[in-house]
Structure 1
């Protein structure tokens, strides 16, 4: 992790959160005690900052500075407001195309999806504040810089985004094997958002219940699934083919 994307030290991280710094994740030392540490924990819970408890060795690998048991990862980009983004796209006269990621965890998959999204004209990518891959150096590298070109929104829960998109007349299509429809049976010509699930679990069942349509990729080999970034690319290019 680059030093330019880090804040270390309890007080420094508290001040960063209170100053509305865009923090991707806070790594906290397991078993640490103390008033200042408790203050940071309380603030993290209050502001719903993504965090995890790790051994001190992990923190020492992140920085050789005096971290005091806490290191924060700072986002290198500014996240967009979903309401503003959707409104701007609708007013532009374009047919909206969005990608929602339901707790995708691998930063390289995330970066690859951003890169393909930029190449296929996606208007924005929507992720959840907690549980997903961060925007870090690996994300930037894998995206080939596309992370600075495609608007990315963070929401408290992916369902919040779905409800807002649907209320705005944008159809939500799930990429899932739990359907008989292939991507060639589904129309991507109207305003739509494609939701991709995490690498291991796929789309959360409670999220899947709320979608407007489902589509799968036909698989002719013995392997039962594709890498999520590859699958997303195939779907986005089918959407582009239909729209050209």
Structure 2
């Protein structure tokens, strides 16, 4: 909720925004909210699979300068999202060795923005995020990406697993970035069609997703710290793919 242009307040205003086709990143609802209009809004949120969360009224008051929010605030995404099937089809028409990036519920908007920026610099053909649980494409995301969020296609899917199955059906290998392996990223062939998965800041990649990945790979850590910031790790993975493809 970083700037006034990305926020709307009030139950009717949010209902109208959804019905008019606005891309809503997330809806914030006051705990304990009831009534006919709230039921209508809640039905729309579920029907459109929009991310939402219940928050204390104090948080909504901070979002709204005049506190005239009626218990509801929503964040409008500054970009549009592309359909996954359309992305895969259009990309394969342009290149035989696409490179995609999947983010498994990354939560920090600045990490998200930094990753989008690196993805654009390394020629990533598209980024796939989950509708629920991922950091929104917000003003901070756009700023941190240095505008790259307007250049790299971004897809929202119900579940990351759905995207993985789509990629595997198109013969695109899935490479999961995880410390739970002995394989280094340098030993994986990234010159073939590839989708790299990066996990969330706190828990990494979901175990159920790791099970269906084509390869698991990690970066060597020679110091005492056990992990890298996810945006830094993502950059190392993407530039290894770039290095291999430039040979």
Q: Please indicate the TM-score interval, normalised by the length of the shorter structure.
A: over 0.9
Query: What's 2:78 paired with?
Result: 76
Structure 1 runs (4+) greater than 2 angstroms displaced: none
**Which of 143, 163, 179 is the matching residue for 1:177?**
179
Q: CA deviation at 1:147?
A: 0.6
Query: What's 1:4 paired with?
Result: 5
- Tell me the distance in 2 between the aligned counterparts of 1:149 and 1:47: 25
- Tell me the distance in 1 between the aligned counterparts of 2:102 and 2:90: 18
Q: CA deviation at 1:213?
A: 0.6
Query: What's 2:45 paired with?
Result: 44
What SS is found at the alignment partner of 1:88?
helix
- Tell me the distance in 1 between the aligned counterparts of 2:164 and 2:231: 21
What SS is found at the alignment partner of 2:188?
coil
Q: CA deviation at 1:224?
A: 0.5
Deviates more, 1:37-46 or 1:23-32: 37-46
- Tell me the distance in 2 between the aligned counterparts of 1:43 and 1:167: 32
Q: CA deviation at 1:94?
A: 4.5
CA RMSD of aligned residues (A): 1.0
Q: CA deviation at 1:135?
A: 0.4
Query: What's 1:104 paired with?
Result: 106
Which consecutive residues of structure 2, in runs of 5 or more, have no partner in the other structure? none
User: Alpha-carbon deviations, 1:132-184, whole Å to 9, x = none?
Assistant: 10000110111111111111000010011000011011101000111110011
User: Alpha-carbon deviations, 1:97-132, whole Å to 9, x = none?
Assistant: 000000000000000000000111100100000001
Q: CA deviation at 1:43?
A: 2.1
- 1:207-222 matched pairs, under 5 angstroms: 207-222=209-224
Which consecutive residues of structure 1, in runs of 5 or more, have no partner in the other structure? none
What SS is found at the alignment partner of 2:187?
coil
**Which of 99, 116, 120 is the matching residue for 1:118?**
120
TM-score, normalization by structure 2? 0.96
Deviates more, 1:45-54 or 1:198-207: 45-54
